[in-house]
Amino acid sequence: MHLDPSRRAMDHLQQIRLLTDAEHTTATSDPELGNATFRTPAEALAWVVAREIISQAQLAGLPARAAAGQENEAQAIVSEATDLLSGEFPLPPWAQLHIRLLDRRMQDGVSANALDQLLNLQLIDETQHAHSLSMLPTHQEAWAAPDSLPATLAWTVLRSGALSDGELRALAGRTSHPDIVADAIARIDGATTVTRKTSTTTTFSLDSLDFSTSSSSSTSSSTSSSTSLPSGSFVLPPSSSTSSSSSSPATQTRTFTWTSSSTSEATPASGWKKTIVVVVVALVALYLLFGR
């Protein structure tokens, strides 16, 4: 009997003993399993943690359960699952996993073979083909989705950037393969954009130069292909920045609030470090200008 990808990945975790029989039964009996979007064992393990069938604190010790000869595979699965549940924002595990899986499912069916077929069908040219080949996502062959021409064509717009949205839509009226183009356009129109916003409030004491920071995060999704801010953009509209001051014999306090917004694609750590440096420099400048 052919198993769906989610159930197959879950069964593999039981076979290599990363899940006990009881944990496997609980997971496969979960009513949400039918709505799950995971494909690989690592994604299945992350889902088990997100559903609180096992705790996140247990992850590091799971490789010790592995069957003989499968320790390396178990460690790789646990490492990948841990990464899927981690992120730059303080979101709960289920939210982190949801964001990561949305991005991964956009890459299902994307392959070099599909790109070759798109080139042969003249849906992309040599330059677009070469550019996309250099950016192909890495798939675990045993768990990869079947090659898909529409998914790969949509990916050249959404991820590789080899085609623009306008170029893809222009193909609809001048190709002998309108079904592939229509499917790709539908995938793009249905793509979900995940926006995460972080609001940070920092309070400075001008007397001691000490400061404290508090922050909050929120996640929202919209089914749209509309343009969003580039990953890691730093937004500071006039309405989002406020300052107030109070004085006493001992201290003066100014409070500044700013909001950053990013899409589902992770921002490199170095980008955030640069943002932090810019913010600190700006606040020191404010202190020198207005603090005394």
What ranges in 16-148 are assigned the alpha helix state H? Answer: 21-29, 41-50, 71-84, 93-105, 112-120, 126-133
Mean of the pLDDT values across residues 21-38? 92
11 and 29 fall within a common domain: yes
- Among 77, 105, 133, residue at a domain's last position: 105
Average pLDDT, the chain: 75
Could you give the CA distance from residue 54 to residue 12 in angstroms, rounded to a whole number? 16
With cut-offs at 50, 70 and 90, classify the pLDDT of residue 6.
Answer: confident
| pLDDT at residue 161 greater than cutoff 50 | yes
62 and 76 fall within a common domain: yes
15 and 37 fall within a common domain: yes
Specify the pLDDT at position 290: 56
Please state, for a pLDDT cut of 70, what percent of the chain lies above it: 64
Specify the pLDDT at position 216: 53
With cut-offs at 50, 70 and 90, classify the pLDDT of residue 288.
Answer: low
For the chain, how many structural domains are there in total?
Answer: 3
78 and 123 fall within a common domain: no
- Among 85, 105, 125, residue at a domain's last position: 105
Type of residue found at 17: R
SS3 146: coil
- Its domain, for residue 243, covers 192-290
- Among 41, 76, 105, residue at a domain's last position: 105
Read off the pTM.
Answer: 0.60
First to last CA, the chain: 76
Could you give the CA distance from residue 84 to residue 86 in angstroms, rounded to a whole number? 6
Each as own residue / partner, the long-range contacts of residues 110-117 (CB below 8 Å, 24 or more positions apart, any chain) are: 110/136, 110/137, 110/148, 110/151, 110/152, 110/155, 110/159, 111/136, 111/139, 111/144, 111/147, 111/152, 112/136, 113/147, 114/147, 114/148, 114/149, 114/151, 114/152, 115/152, 117/147, 117/149
| pLDDT at residue 16 greater than cutoff 60 | yes
Specify the pLDDT at position 226: 31
- The number of helices, as runs of H, and strands, as runs of E, in the chain is 11, 5
Among 21-35, 107-121, 224-238, the minimum mean pLDDT is found in 224-238
153 and 171 fall within a common domain: yes
| pLDDT at residue 135 greater than cutoff 80 | yes
With cut-offs at 50, 70 and 90, classify the pLDDT of residue 234.
Answer: very low
Torsion sign across C-alpha atoms 174, 184, 135, 176: negative
169 and 245 fall within a common domain: no
92 and 140 fall within a common domain: no
142 and 218 fall within a common domain: no
Specify the pLDDT at position 66: 93
86 and 165 fall within a common domain: no
174 and 211 fall within a common domain: no
